[in-house]
């Protein structure tokens, strides 16, 4: 039986969809980002995910652009107290990226850009095997004790490393990771299913997977090579999926025809139906997309439909 971890984890408070902020300041400019955030908030959305590295991959950017846009929007709208904000450190996957001094400095920079004095959820964006787990755990715990962080999460971790990190933190009386954010969707399942899902179920760790729409492939907009050429994201994951996984779109099309739901809604509803999942993370580049994504939380797939996507 699927457990609703979002209802049990105090860091989430019943949230069933997280808005991804990776597009803010990148494929969504400031005005568009503000409109997206307005629509999400007005529709009842209450959690936004970002990172200090967003969007350093864009020429001329250095990272922090997403946090800056989000911070400006919260300041303009007065919405900070009503939201749960998640951000991350060590997205560059550097040796020593989770050293205590790096964590402290990165958090201060993120808080400045976000125009807030705390974040609800702070992630280790990438693991750091070069820094002792006890040092990492102590550094994160210090930020929790200082009131600058409410809860801790790990992203792009294996089950073994997450379990080891939690064990060290708990043994030392430090705040453990209670959230995991790995890639998980209809096409990429190995980072959640198996050992990680078991850990979520036994330890009460809540999974907030990213790439719920497989970088846009599961929206159905990438079906030909010409479709890939039309998008700045087309030559990445969508190209890989087009070559290997086109058939899944056909099965989703059949479910869409019988339910009236869209493909993005079906993709996210499938994730929500899986064990160990609290809420998927999905980004949008228009108000219409936000409203569409939010409809996924109201869609319940039948056992037959879920089996068709297994």
For residue 119, give the H/E element and its range: strand 119-124
Is 128 in a helix, a strand, or coil?
A: coil
- The enclosing H or E element of 75 equals helix 65-77
41: left (phi over 0), alpha (psi -120 to 50) or beta: alpha
- Which among 54, 123, 211, 222 is annotated as catalytic? 54
Map tokens 């933190």 to a residue. Answer: 169
Query: What is the C-alpha separation between 48 and 86, in angstroms, rounded?
Result: 6
Strand partners, 151: 121
Quick one: which H or E segment has residue 77? helix 65-77
- Alpha-carbon Rg of the chain, whole angstroms? 19
DSSP state of 156: S
Cα separation of 275 and 279, whole Å? Answer: 11
Q: How far apart are CA 30 and CA 275, in angstroms?
A: 36
184 is catalytic: no
Query: Cα–Cα distance between 185 and 211 in angstroms, integer?
Result: 7
Residue 46's contacts (CB-CB under 8 Å, 6 or more residues apart) are 13, 15, 82, 83, 84
Question: 247: closest CA among 186, 292, 185?
Answer: 186
- Please give the positions annotated as active site: 54
């Amino acid at each position: 039986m699927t457990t609703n971890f979002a209802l049990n984890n105090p860091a989430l408070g019943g949230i069933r969809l997280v808005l991804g902020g990776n597009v803010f300041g990148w494929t969504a400019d400031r005005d568009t980002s503000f409109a997206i955030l307005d629509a999400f908030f007005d529709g009842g959305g209450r959690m936004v995910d970002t990172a200090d590295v967003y969007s350093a991959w864009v020429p001329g950017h250095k990272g922090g652009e997403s946090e800056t846009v989000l911070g400006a929007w919260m300041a303009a709208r007065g919405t900070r107290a009503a939201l749960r904000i998640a951000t991350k450190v060590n997205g560059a996957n550097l040796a020593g990226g989770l050293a205590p001094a790096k964590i402290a400095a990165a958090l201060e920079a993120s808080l400045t850009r976000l125009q807030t004095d705390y974040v609800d959820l702070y992630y280790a964006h990438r693991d750091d095997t070069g820094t002792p787990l006890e040092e990492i755990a102590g550094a994160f715990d210090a930020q929790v004790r200082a009131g600058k962080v409410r809860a801790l999460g790990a992203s792009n971790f294996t089950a073994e490393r997450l379990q080891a990190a939690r064990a060290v933190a708990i043994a030392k009386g430090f705040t453990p990771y209670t959230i995991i954010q790995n890639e998980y969707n209809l096409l990429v399942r190995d980072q959640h299913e198996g050992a990680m899902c078991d850990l979520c179920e036994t330890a009460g760790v809540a999974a907030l997977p990213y790439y719920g729409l497989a970088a846009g492939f599961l929206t159905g907009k990438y079906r030909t090579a010409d479709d890939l050429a039309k998008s700045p994201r087309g030559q990445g994951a969508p190209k890989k999926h087009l070559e290997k996984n086109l058939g899944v779109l056909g099965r989703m099309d059949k479910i869409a025809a019988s339910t009236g739901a869209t493909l993005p809604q079906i993709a996210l509803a499938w994730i929500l139906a899986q064990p160990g999942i609290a809420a998927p993370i999905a980004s949008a580049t228009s108000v219409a997309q936000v409203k569409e994504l939010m409809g996924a939380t109201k869609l319940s797939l039948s056992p037959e439909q879920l089996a068709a996507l297994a």
